[in-house]
Amino acid sequence: MSDIPALEGILKEMHSVPGVSDAVLVSRSGMHIAGAVPQGAHAETFVAMFAILLGAAETATSELKERLDNVVVELESSKILIINDGPKAIFVLRTSRAANVDSVRAEIARFSKRVEEHL
């Protein structure tokens, strides 16, 4: 059983990463695990569609025989970074448009093991 309070605390810590404004943990099947979706977004739709998006990207790139690490969706004033966090979950992060994706990804990697311990 997942330790939701611990996961919520870790996701709140992720807001300290420069550029990150929202952090959500989603199951690979598209269910919300922890974190708050951006204000105004329908939670179930938001988490399910990003899990589907990552799955579609994995399928589309599977012939390349390389592991997909992340997907970036660039919006008018922000970015959504979808990061594969192992077999159970994915991170969905909303960042500023100016955020450096490689820097954010490197910072988020340090949270990954702690998240896995609580899933």
| pTM metric for this prediction | 0.91
By percentage, how much of the chain surpasses pLDDT 90?
A: 86
Average pLDDT rounded to a whole number, residues 65-73: 91
Chain segment 84-115, per-residue pLDDT in tens: 888 899 999 999 999 999 999 999 999 999 99
Q: How far is CA 23 from CA 37, 59, 67, in A?
A: 7, 24, 23
| Listed residue (82, 88, 78) closest to 68, CA to CA | 82
Query: Residue 85: what pLDDT?
Result: 84
User: What is the rounded distance in angstroms from the CA atom of residue 67 to the CA atom of residue 77?
Assistant: 29
Chain segment 16-35, per-residue pLDDT in tens: 999 999 999 999 999 999 99
Query: Residue 39: what pLDDT?
Result: 87
* All structural domains of the chain: 4-118 (3.30.450.30)
Supply φ then ψ for residue 16, to 5 degrees.
-80, -10
DSSP 56-80: HHHHHHGGGTS---EEEEE-SSEEE
